Chains A and B, each alone.
Chain A
């Protein structure tokens, strides 16, 4: 069984002499096509193998976390970075509410140079950044009034809380006045109303 028999050797010799069919061109066409396909399209290598996949996943997660943290931080800082409305200078010009300023006067926001009262500096045509004084004055509150009074009164349960908590001030650039120096003393009483007089000495005995 483990050795070839003589007739098998004869068969092998005969098979070597078998005439081959003339299919060389047909077979070559198939070979060429397959080789062209192979060379035309490079074999796709997997992008990541083994540990590379884990590293990629880890880096992706870290980058995603950093992006989320950056976004949250950016969002929380965003209100601080918003510029203060530039209408404030226009209000500053109205602050004194002097009688000498006539309605219809146009005040430029950055016009800080002092001028004689009643002098119209700018032409009556309002620019983009200009504010008409009459509009501002109409919106202006009385000097003694508190703009926060427009808010409903806060109801508190205990006097302790009442004394500690104050309503949060609402900033309205149009009607809120900038903090200036408060007038001292009682309104309506001037220094002329006070009289200094000499009284009896209370330290003397016998009074």
Chain B
């Protein structure tokens, strides 16, 4: 069972961790929790992969909280950055992951939660104990930084 779920689970953990060792820590804790609470899984509420993904993300959030500070920041006006999609398409997946990992930890977490895993700002605010405005600020900050780095790749 572990072998079958390893690739799926490790891919999720890799997005949130700063490196492979961090991902291994998240994955190990998540699987321990999964095996301990596997009797609580209800197939009627969703598929097993979705249930495991939630466990991994929760564990990743705890991991990030232990290692980063979330200062309260409010965002009033939002300026959408322009990013050339063709550059991303041509870029290697590992290189993209490195770009995301270079974001500040809190900004990194908010970006992955929002842009990759589909959380709303309200959900992110609740999970990270921050305000929705702070979540929006981190997302905006992430987009700005990524735009600069992707342009840098192009040049």
Distance (Å) between the CB of B100 and the closest chain A CB?
7
Of all chain B residues, the one with the shortest Cβ separation from A1 is B78
Distance (Å) between the CB of A32 and the closest chain B CB?
9
Structural contact, A11 and B31, CB atoms closer than 8 A: no
Q: Which of B31, B78, B118 has the most CB of A within 10 A?
A: B31
CA distance A21 to B80 in the complex (A): 35
Q: Does A31 sit at the interface, judged by CB under 8 A?
A: yes
Structural contact, B88 and A35, CB atoms closer than 8 A: no
A8-36 contacts to B, CB under 8 A, are 8, 10-12, 14-21, 23-24, 26-28, 30-31, 34-35
Q: Does B44 sit at the interface, judged by CB under 8 A?
A: no
Q: Does A169 sit at the interface, judged by CB under 8 A?
A: no
Q: Does A149 sit at the interface, judged by CB under 8 A?
A: no
Structural contact, A11 and B100, CB atoms closer than 8 A: yes
State the majority secondary structure of interface residues on B: helix
**Which one of A8, A19, A30 lies within 8 Å of B28 (CB-CB)?**
A30
**Which one of B32, B85, B94, B114 lies within 8 Å of A4 (CB-CB)?**
B114
Of all chain B residues, the one with the shortest Cβ separation from A12 is B116
CA distance A195 to B88 in the complex (A): 156
Q: Does B60 sit at the interface, judged by CB under 8 A?
A: no
Q: How large is the interface on A (under 10, 10 to 19, 20 to 34, 35 or more residues)?
A: 20 to 34
Of all chain A residues, the one with the shortest Cβ separation from B99 is A11
Structural contact, A23 and B20, CB atoms closer than 8 A: yes
Q: Does B139 sit at the interface, judged by CB under 8 A?
A: yes
Structural contact, A31 and B97, CB atoms closer than 8 A: no
Structural contact, B115 and A4, CB atoms closer than 8 A: yes
Q: Does A2 sit at the interface, judged by CB under 8 A?
A: yes
Structural contact, A31 and B2, CB atoms closer than 8 A: yes
Distance (Å) between the CB of A88 and the closest chain B CB?
79
The 10 closest A-B pairs by CB, nearest first: A8-B115, A20-B10, A7-B83, A14-B93, A10-B88, A14-B96, A12-B116, A17-B93, A30-B28, A1-B78
Interface residues of B (CB under 8 A from A): 2-3, 6-7, 10-11, 14-15, 20, 23-24, 27-28, 31-32, 35-36, 78, 80, 83-85, 88-89, 91, 93-94, 96-97, 100, 114-116, 118, 120-121, 136, 139-140, 143, 146, 150
Question: Can you report 28 residue pairs joining A to B where beta carbons are below 8 Å apart?
Answer: A2-B120, A2-B121, A4-B114, A5-B115, A5-B143, A7-B83, A7-B84, A7-B85, A8-B116, A10-B88, A11-B115, A11-B116, A12-B115, A14-B93, A15-B97, A16-B11, A17-B93, A18-B14, A18-B93, A18-B94, A18-B96, A21-B20, A24-B3, A27-B28, A31-B31, A31-B32, A31-B35, A38-B36
